[in-house]
Structure 1
Amino acid sequence: MMTKVVVFHAGREEYALPIENVVSIEKLDHINPIPHLPPYVLGLVKVRNELIPVMDMSSILYNNPLTNDEGLFLLVVHTETLEVGLVVKEAKEILEVADASITDVGLLSYSRTKYFNGVINLEKRMITKIDPEVLVESLEGIKELRDYVQEQKISQI
């Protein structure tokens, strides 16, 4: 069996999301900052008339906010909880990988990285696979963020 993933960079590492969760890859445009949100949330953007919270993957993974605005992409990701925009460095590659090349990681039991659900082992690369559902669910303040986005959508009608 084969699995298709979207590969992106955060920090110096490569990560992958299942292609079925990725709605689109956008150039990062103007973000409307919103006060009092968790530090990993940069604000809200409108993508195809949908309000989407923008999250800094570098901040989530490394507690190190992205500073450079150039060459950043927005991965619009659908999860059961919320549609989110993940700000990443490069997101140019869609890979089809054999399921046999994906191994479980010992780190999965580490509570802070429970959203890592495997490592894709390629000849010269190792790519950490992320479960977007678990990632979004595990974020601090996600319930309040979801409620806030819902309120904004209602007030726009």
Structure 2
Amino acid sequence: MTKVVVFHSGREEYALPIEQVVSIEKLEGINPIPHLPSYVLGLVKVRNELIPVLDLSSILYDQRSDNEEGLFLLVIHTETLQAGLVVKEAKEILEVPEGAVTDAGLLAYSRTRYFDGVINLEDRMITKIDPEVLIESLEGMKEIRDYVYEQKISQN
């Protein structure tokens, strides 16, 4: 049995492993930074930690979600970075029974390497995302990681 946090982006449901979700925050106080990739809305401070805000709708669907209602910041951590994903309706923690996750078949498609599988339940299908692969696969994340690190050092 694994636990995931379920949220919406676009019209679909997605899930992240609960152990990589730090918190779910209200979306507020984003400081825009010029010249960043279009999926980066800016930086925000969460619990005194400076984190980049990534628009998941922009990453998945090429549509910015800044003017949508009911958005949350799903703060995740990977080995190299904490980041905030802008999502809709991040409010459900789901216990996934063994055997309910199937190989997506899409995993071989290079642009969706971060899809970890599909949680196949009786009445719904939820695409599982691997946050490590997602963060590593985004263009420009190394520079963003370096920038956040520099900001952290200059504040200490």
1:135 maps to 134
Supply the distance in 2 between the matched residues of 1:47 and 1:124 (Cα, whole angstroms): 35
- Which amino acid is the alignment partner of residue 56 of structure 1? D
Alignment of structure 1 residues 99-114 onto 2, 5 Å: 99-114=98-113
| Cα-to-partner distance string for 1:2-55 (whole Å, 9 max, x where unaligned) | 010000100000000000000000011110000111110000000000000000
> C-alpha displacement at 1:70, in angstroms?
2.5
Instruction: Percent identity, please.
Output: 80
Superposition TM-score, scaled by structure 1 size: 0.97
The alpha carbon displacement at 1:68 in A equals 2.3
> 1:67: which partner in 2?
66
Q: Does structure 2 conserve the Cα–Cα contact (< 8 Å) formed by 1:44 and 1:51?
A: yes
- In the alignment, structure 1 segments of 5+ residues that lack a partner are none
TM-score, length-scaled by structure 2: 0.98
Q: CA RMSD in A?
A: 0.8
8 A contact 1:81–1:136 mirrored in 2 = no
For structure 2, list consecutive stretches of 5 or more residues without a partner in the other structure.
Answer: none
**Partner Cα separation in structure 2 for residue 13 and residue 70 of structure 1:** 16
Matching residue of 2:4: 5
Misfit runs of 4+, over 6 Å: none
SS at match of 2:149: helix
For 2:91 and 2:117, locate their aligned partners in 1 and report how far apart those are by CA, in whole Å: 21
**Within 5 Å, which residues of 2 pair with 1:15-94?**
15-94=14-93
Secondary structure in structure 2 of the residue aligned to 1:92:
strand
CA 1:40/1:103 → structure 2, altered by over 3 Å: closer, same or farther? same
Deviation at 1:69, TM superposition (A): 4.4
8 Å CA contact 1:21, 1:78 repeated in 2: yes
Aligned length: 156
